[in-house]
Amino acid sequence: MAVVSYKCPHCGGELIFSPTTQKYKCEYCLSDFSQEELEALKPEEGSEEKAVNFEEDTQEENTTEKETQEEAVIYHCPSCGAEIVTDETTAATFCYYCHNPVVLSGRVSGEFLPDKIIPFAIDKKQATEKFLDYVHSKKFVPKAFFNKQQIEKISGVYFPYWMVDMDMEGSMQAEGRNVRVWRSGDTEYTETKVYRVEREGDVHLEDITKNALKKSNAKLAEGVLPYDVSKVQKFHMGFLSGFLAEKRDIERTELNKQVQQEANEYGEKILRGTVKGYSSISVKSCHLNQTQENWDYTMLPVWTVTYKGKNGKMYYYSMNGQDGKVYGELPIDYKKVWILGGIVFGLVLILALIGGYLL
């Protein structure tokens, strides 16, 4: 399996994707390259890579893999030749020794070639700031719990997701009722009009997004959704340079049923939403037949933050690499919460007593 490193044509330094400029940057000579320029460079780069790139000793790999299936897999750094130990799902990482970014091209090609990618729009510095802003804006986090020094690790990771578009044919039968109430003297009249409602049409659902990595915490992985899909791009390996990336290990067959069920739910809601002007609607029957579906294997940018709390507990957060939305469990200053609860109790008690007094 190949390992790829993008090199600057001017100085041979490593090229890294910069979220702020959305271009490739050489950290040594500070040159900028656009996506097109990088793609133009690639063949040259590729051949050079091949020269530096060490194929693995297949026999050795096989024996180790047989021994322990989940064991790390070894690659060689194209820059310094040192061994790079990876997980089975790692698609992009850094060399432990020379810190050069490497992309394990074999893991993002063939059947694992992602269809789409949303590149990072927030760099590490911004991510750190946004994270601290977020936790500091939270009123019930213990005071001075978070500080920059104690952020154990903040890394930009492209996580694998399945994004599903679905077309369905739907038909729905429902009963709508309109109720009118009026008074005449001492008598109240209630008039109920009953309507038979029928709807048929084509329902289209876009971007039902599902986490495609077993080892990632599904809650954290889906907590950062949604992404602005207008920024989606065709996948190119270059985007991974300078970031970590994981390849999927959840196949669409495993998600099919769940997605189908969700799509039906959404479809019914959409059809129901087209029925308007009644005081009550009851759906008698609703059928949805799937006509077309399109599953896109998509890489989405996530900043993961590991924070060691003062209490020794580790806290994990995920941040949307596009808009900086943070998701994760926060430590709670219970004293503050109880004080607020007490204040609310006191205020409501006083208000309720005043209410009781006045009535």
Partner 1 sequence: MRMRKKQSTYFEGKKVILALLLTCIFVMGSGFSANAAESTGKNYSTDRQIAINLSNHEVDSSLENSQVTDQAGLLSQSEIEEIESQIEKMEEKTGWDVMAVTTDDAQGMNATYYAEKWFDDYTTCDDGIIFFIDMDNRELIMRTFGEAIDCINDAKRDKILDAGFEKVSDEEYGKAFEAMLKKTAKYAYRQITPVEAGIAFVIAIAAGGLTIGCIIGSYRLKFGGYKYSIEKNGSVKLRKKEDAFVNQFVTHRHIPKSDGSGGSGGKTTTHVGAGGRVSGGGSRKF
151-187 burial code (b ≥16 CB/10 A, e <16): beebebbbbbbbbbebebebebebebeeeeeeeeeee
Assess 187 for contact with partner 1 (CB under 8 A). Answer: yes
Q: How many CB atoms lie within 10 A of CB 293?
A: 17
Residue 155 C-beta: closest distance to partner 1, Å: 21
Helix (H, G, I), strand (E, B) or coil at 38: helix
Q: What are phi and psi of 69, to 5 degrees?
A: -60, -40
Q: Which of 99, 125, 204, 214 binds partner 1 (CB under 8 A)?
A: 204
The residue among 112 and 266 lying less far from partner 1, judged by its C-beta, is: 266
Q: Which of 214, 219, 308, 313 binds partner 1 (CB under 8 A)?
A: 219
Q: Which of 144, 188, 230, 311 binds partner 1 (CB under 8 A)?
A: 188
Q: Which of 43, 68, 186, 234 binds partner 1 (CB under 8 A)?
A: 186
Contact range with partner 1 by CB under 8 A, out of 46-54, 56-64, 73-81, 345-353:
345-353
Contact range with partner 1 by CB under 8 A, out of 97-105, 150-158, 197-205, 294-302:
197-205
What is the rounded CA–CA span in Å between residue 152 and residue 56? 33
Assess 226 for contact with partner 1 (CB under 8 A). Answer: yes
Which contiguous run of DSSP H or E holds residue 103?
A: strand 101-103
Q: Which of 1, 52, 205, 286 binds partner 1 (CB under 8 A)?
A: 205
Residue 308 C-beta: closest distance to partner 1, Å: 18
Q: Alpha carbon of 50 to those of 5, 111, 242, 245: distances in Å?
A: 10, 22, 20, 22
Assess 280 for contact with partner 1 (CB under 8 A). Answer: no
Assess 183 for contact with partner 1 (CB under 8 A). Answer: yes
**In contact, 2 and 84? CB cutoff 8 Å:** no
Helix (H, G, I), strand (E, B) or coil at 238: helix
* 237 CA to centre of own chain: 19
Assess 234 for contact with partner 1 (CB under 8 A). Answer: no
Which contiguous run of DSSP H or E holds residue 321?
A: none
The residue among 84 and 300 lying less far from partner 1, judged by its C-beta, is: 300
Binders of partner 1 in range 65-94 (CB under 8 A): none
Assess 43 for contact with partner 1 (CB under 8 A). Answer: no
Q: Which of 65, 152, 200, 251 binds partner 1 (CB under 8 A)?
A: 200
The residue among 132 and 275 lying less far from partner 1, judged by its C-beta, is: 275
DSSP secondary structure string for all residues of 48-98: HHHHHPPPP-HHHHHHHHHH-TT--EEEE-TTT--EEEE-SSEEEEE-TTT
Assess 228 for contact with partner 1 (CB under 8 A). Answer: no
Residue 325 structure tokens:
């939305």
Assess 312 for contact with partner 1 (CB under 8 A). Answer: no
Assess 40 for contact with partner 1 (CB under 8 A). Answer: no
DSSP secondary structure string for all residues of 129-196: HHHHHHHHH-TTSPTT---GGGEEEEEEEEEEEEEEEEEEEEEEEEEEEEEEEEEETTEEEEEEEEEE
Assess 140 for contact with partner 1 (CB under 8 A). Answer: yes
* 208 CA to centre of own chain: 12
Report the interface residues with partner 1, using CB under 8 A: 138, 140-141, 170-171, 175-176, 183, 186-209, 219, 222-226, 262, 266-267, 269-271, 273-275, 327-332, 337-338, 340-342, 344-346, 348-349, 352-353, 355-358
